[in-house]
Amino acid sequence: MIFYFSATGNCKYTAQKLSESLGDRMIDITKAMKNGDRVFRLEDGEDIGLVCPVYYGVLPDIVRRFLEGFSVRGSGSGYTYAVMTCGANSGNSKKKVEELFEAHDLPLTAFYSVRMVSTYIALLGGTSEKEAEKALVKADREI
Q: Which residues pair with 80 in a beta bridge?
A: 48
Say how far apart CA 92 and CA 12 lie, in whole Å: 22
> What's the number of CA atoms in the CB half-sphere (13 Å) around residue 101?
21
Q: What is the mean pLDDT of residues 13-35?
A: 96
Q: How far apart are the first and last CA of the chain?
A: 16
Q: Which residues pair with 28 in a beta bridge?
A: 4
pLDDT digits 0-9 by tens, 28-41? 999 999 999 999 99
Q: Is the separation of the CB atoms in 91 and 34 below 8 Å?
A: no
pLDDT digits 0-9 by tens, 72-109? 998 888 899 999 998 767 778 899 999 999 999 999 99
